[in-house]
Structure 1
Amino acid sequence: MKLEIHSQPDLFTELAPEWNKLVERSTANQIFNTWEWQSTWWQAYQPGDLWVITCRTDADQLIGLAPWFIGTTEDQKRFVATIGCKEVTDYLDLIVDADHVDAVLDQFAGFLAENHDRFDEIQLCNISEHSISHSNFPSALEKHGFTTELEPEDVCPVVELPESWSDYLAMLDKKQRHELRRKFRRAHGENSGIDWYIVGQDDDIEEAMQQFLELMASSDPDKARFLSDPQNVTFFKSIAAVMQQCGWLHLCFLTVEGERAAAYFNFDYNQQILVYNSGLNPESHGHLSPGIVLLAFIIQHAIETKHRVFDFLQGNETYKYHMGGKDIAVLNLNARYTGN
């Protein structure tokens, strides 16, 4: 096996033909690990120096990718982190061919030990409890002289989707099932004026995202503050356009008598619907519960289109559990080189 350091922005162009093929063969086939997400995120934020490590077989097949950068804290400590870390990305991982996990992780850990003078700490964020960065990488690092610590970051409530809508309703708590049916009946009433739609690949994504961002900002003061940062707005608009081109965008709006009342900015990837963010006009049509009704429409559609998983992504908001979410832990891996 051979390792190579990539530290210039053209690495994204250079690795583009191989990146997603490795993601698909890896243990980390998540949209946040794709070339599209990682390159778009880096273009928007660029918080340090690129330090992407590739691992290849002697036959030059790409079997491992550590998409890292080296950042600097306010007190001038240097740290290794994953591209995408951390506020706008929900899962991150090392991208390793499923047939070569232990060997590649050993190579990456050995590389970090040999280059420990380049950084003070490793800070890998947004690691799913099911990832190799949780189950395998800490022991590989410890073998090469690091002390490691896993700490909780957040949770992602997830629904394993059943075969039918009626089966989904049966999964819910009795009270929540009754409430959802009541809201659905109201939404389907003759005079409700409710409709919903998914933005298509040929639709004007700039206009759709402007409409979404307005709803997002109006729904919550914290979201409004988040969108006051131009970098975040740039990233949201850029990633939406890229996802639309790939066929991975699942941007949904609910209208009441033609007026947009709620929206969900989701992704559709690998038979999963990923609920990335939402928007709502809290002063309009509140009696119809437009956010929950739209969410129900989306879940029903996901079941009908044979999706396997409905992932609410990070955050433990109550409504996610009312809709059937079960927690997947998200962790951070911190490590320091001691040489022992």
Structure 2
Amino acid sequence: MQIERVTSLQSFDALEADWRALETGSARNSVFLGWDWQRLWWTHYGCGRQLRILVARAGNKVVGIFPLYLEHHRVARILQVRKLRPIGAGGDTAPDDLGILSDPSCEEAVTQAFVHHILTRCERWQLLDLVDLPSDSPLVDCLARRASHRPALIERAPPNLITYGELPADWDRYRQSLSRNRREVLGRKRRKFEQQPGARFHQIVDDAQIDPAFDRLAELHRRRWQGRTEELSFTSEQYLGFHRDMMHALLHRKRLLFYALEMNGEIIAMFYGFRHAQTCYYFQAGFDPQHAALSPGEVLMGYVIEAA
């Protein structure tokens, strides 16, 4: 197995076909490891960072990709450290399940080859920052074994936990899974919304609608959380540009989940998520606090679950 290093944008772009092929076959693939997320993240967040993508080949076939970059990180404002980090980590958008894309038939061999290359062939790095990796990633165990005598080389942050739930086959069965009180509250809030002039729930599925709808989502999110948190999303140019482009890419792949509640021709609440394999992910949302009495966030989530 041969390991090559990709350090130029041209070589990065040349990987697209092989990358998408691995996405289809890899058991550990996630939307955050997919071509669209990774390539767009680099477009918007790559400035000042250096590509260090590792590619494993068996003959002429790409069997593994480990998307990494090198950056200079200052510790306590006095000491500069060269960090290797997964592409997707380090910006102000929050990925999960980063790591290695590999052919399932040789996942262990690919992981070992990447770890060996990082520890013996990759120069100029001082710290490997393993952030946003799944807790069961074989990469973590392999590195722990191979670098046990140099633990200071590896920085490992615990992954963010994602809560998953299995949805019943249809809306009626979902409602029956709730308590009687919860069903009544949900039904009452939905009926109250539907009695409003021009009330409707709809999905944004037209590419021409994405940009104005995205602008409205950003506005509603800021309205909802202004003064409630110090870490507002939809504020930096990188975040706005990345997620706007990501929505277009997800729509093209039929993976975008972008929904709105509307009254009198005005959108009052929005949901942004995506579909990956058989799983629907909630990523961001927002609503107009002026309509808080209608519980727009809760009503919208009910419609989204029904549509899923």
Q: Same fold (TM over 0.5)?
A: yes
Shift in CA distance, 149/27, structure 1 to aligned 2, threshold 3 Å? farther
Letter of the 2:35 partner, please give it. W
* 1:262 paired residue among 251, 269, 276: 269
1:145 and 2:147 aligned: yes
Deviations for 1:247-282, whole angstroms, at most 9, x for unmatched residues?
A: 222211101232211001111232322111111111
* 2:219 paired residue among 214, 223, 238: 214
Shift in CA distance, 95/293, structure 1 to aligned 2, threshold 3 Å? same
SS of 2:9's equivalent in the other structure is: coil
**Cα separation, 1, equivalents of 2:45 and 2:142:** 30
What is the Cα deviation at residue 113 of structure 1?
1.1
SS of 1:196's equivalent in the other structure is: strand
**Cα separation, 1, equivalents of 2:176 and 2:130:** 38
1:17 and 2:17 aligned: yes
Counterpart in the other structure of 1:293: 299
Letter of the 2:212 partner, please give it. E
Shift in CA distance, 191/89, structure 1 to aligned 2, threshold 3 Å? closer
Q: How well do the aligned residues superpose, as a CA RMSD in angstroms? A: 2.2
- Counterparts of 1:50-65 in structure 2, within 5 Å, are 50-58=51-59, 60-65=60-65
What is the Cα deviation at residue 175 of structure 1?
4.9
**Cα separation, 1, equivalents of 2:158 and 2:139:** 16
Counterpart in the other structure of 1:80: 84
Length-normalised TM-score, structure 1: 0.80
* 2:130 paired residue among 124, 128, 131: 124
What is the Cα deviation at residue 243 of structure 1?
2.0
What is the Cα deviation at residue 209 of structure 1?
1.3
What is the Cα deviation at residue 297 of structure 1?
0.2
SS of 2:165's equivalent in the other structure is: strand
* 2:193 paired residue among 173, 187, 190: 187
SS of 2:109's equivalent in the other structure is: helix
Counterpart in the other structure of 2:284: 277
Letter of the 1:103 partner, please give it. A
* 1:232 paired residue among 236, 239, 245: 239
Counterpart in the other structure of 1:306: none
What is the Cα deviation at residue 150 of structure 1?
4.7
Counterpart in the other structure of 2:106: 100
Structure with greater contact order relative to length (CA < 8 Å, sep ≥ 6): 1
Letter of the 1:36 partner, please give it. D
Letter of the 1:33 partner, please give it. L
**Cα separation, 1, equivalents of 2:231 and 2:157:** 29
**Cα separation, 1, equivalents of 2:238 and 2:266:** 29
Structure 1: gaps of 5 or more residues? 303-340
1:199 and 2:204 aligned: yes
Shift in CA distance, 141/184, structure 1 to aligned 2, threshold 3 Å? same
Counterpart in the other structure of 2:253: 246
Shift in CA distance, 262/105, structure 1 to aligned 2, threshold 3 Å? same
**Cα separation, 1, equivalents of 2:220 and 2:108:** 46
**Cα separation, 2, equivalents of 1:271 and 1:54:** 28
**Cα separation, 2, equivalents of 1:41 and 1:108:** 22
Shift in CA distance, 138/191, structure 1 to aligned 2, threshold 3 Å? closer
Preserved contact between residue 32 and residue 89 of structure 1 (Cα < 8 Å): no
What is the Cα deviation at residue 70 of structure 1?
1.0
**Cα separation, 2, equivalents of 1:62 and 1:267:** 27
